[in-house]
Amino acid sequence: MDLDWLKDFLALAEQKNFSRAADIRNVTQPAFSRRVRALEDWIGTPLFARGAQGATLTPAGDYFLPLADELTRGLLRARRDTRAVGERVGATLSIAATHALSFTFFPGWIRRHMRFEALGTLNLISDSMDACEQIMLGGEVHFLLCHHHADAPTRFEPSRFQSVHVGNDVLVPVCAPDAENRPVWPLPGRAERPTRLLAYSQASGLGRILAAHQSGGSGSAEVETVFTSHLAATLLTMARQGHGVAWLPLTLAEDDLTRARLVRAGPERFDIPIGIRLFRSVDCRNRVADELWELLNGSPAIPDTLIPPAG
């Protein structure tokens, strides 16, 4: 039995589609399918009925669904609580951050707010927004640092998770320049020549924000998707090479814009202002996490009664 098998099962049960579930789990579809089959082989009966319309739970799968959810939560809780006992000695601080922020915003931000000698061991997990949400919901990290927009809510219930605004950013449409320093793929595109869009995959939080913003009809443009990735850095490279236009965080694209490796693809009405927020859960905390939260939020730390007992 592998914990990933349970997570794969839950993702497929929710999505009912192998391709979408594999994307969310950040694995290739063939590898995802093999892991689902391995779980079925381990149990000894099919859990999904495969068909042209996707995957639906068999009666056995339907019976196993709440058990898999309970098993996953129980294993994650056991790991979290056991780790918490050790962390109180080592003062480990664990932070999940989306890829784009982990190597642009995070280093300077954490240096401004905490002395590294006071941190003990700092563990940074960099992944897609969907993966970071799963890690946070599982109680595996103290904090999650991510981009945020009111039109694209997270999966965090306000009753369980708190958040604080720690910075600002802007999603800017950029592309490669032509010989006269004009955008190769200008916005808005034309019906006869749509602008090639380098898009975010479903697992990306920036893609979630962009989709929510565009569904509101703000800054519409004639575009056709030609490439998808959950990594903003990959979209930056593709845009730099002239393959299309990508909406990138200014914190990531600023250097390329300054050096004219990229140019704005359209007027500022296509920009999307976004925030940077830090989320925390009362289910995973220690002294160092409390100190950082109190420093950022200007409020007293959560009472010690909410710390999981050591025994």
**C-alpha to C-alpha distance for 222 and 220, rounded to whole angstroms:** 7
Whether the predicted pLDDT of 87 surpasses 60: no
Which range, of 196-200, 221-225, 259-263, 303-307, averages the lowest pLDDT? 303-307
Q: Which residues contact 147 (CB under 8 A, 6 or more apart)?
A: 98, 100, 101, 129, 169, 205, 206, 209, 249, 274, 275, 276, 277
The stretch 30-44 carries a mean pLDDT of 92
Q: How confident is the model at residue 92 (pLDDT cuts 50, 70, 90)?
A: confident
Helices (H) and strands (E) in the chain, counts: 12, 11
pTM above 0.85, yes or no: no
What DSSP character marks residue 281? E
Q: Which residues contact 248 (CB under 8 A, 6 or more apart)?
A: 171, 172, 174, 232, 235, 236, 239
**C-alpha to C-alpha distance for 144 and 201, rounded to whole angstroms:** 20
The pLDDT, as a whole number, for residue 302 is: 38
Which range, of 99-108, 126-135, 276-285, averages the lowest pLDDT? 276-285
Query: Of 107 and 310, which is predicted with more confidence?
Result: 107
Mapped onto helix, strand or coil, the DSSP state of residue 190 is strand
Which of 302, 293, 291 lies closest to 164, judged by CA? Answer: 293
pLDDT by residue (tens digit) across 159-172? 788 899 999 999 99
Query: Of 79 and 254, which is predicted with more confidence?
Result: 254
- Is 3-69's fold the same as 169-274's? no
CATH topology for 3-69? Arc Repressor Mutant, subunit A (1.10.10)
Domain 87-167+276-306: assigned CATH number = 3.40.190.10
Which of 56, 84, 281, 289 lies closest to 163, judged by CA? Answer: 281
Q: Where are the domains of the chain?
A: 3-69, 87-167+276-306, 169-274
C-alpha 105, offset from chain centre: 15
Whether the predicted pLDDT of 303 surpasses 50: no
Cα separations in angstroms, 94 against 87, 121, 155, 277: 10, 8, 20, 16
Whether the predicted pLDDT of 58 surpasses 90: yes
- What is the torsional sign of CA 233, 235, 238, 240? negative
Whether the predicted pLDDT of 261 surpasses 60: yes
Domain 169-274: assigned CATH number = 3.40.190.10
Whether the predicted pLDDT of 148 surpasses 60: yes
The pLDDT, as a whole number, for residue 301 is: 39
Whether the predicted pLDDT of 24 surpasses 60: yes
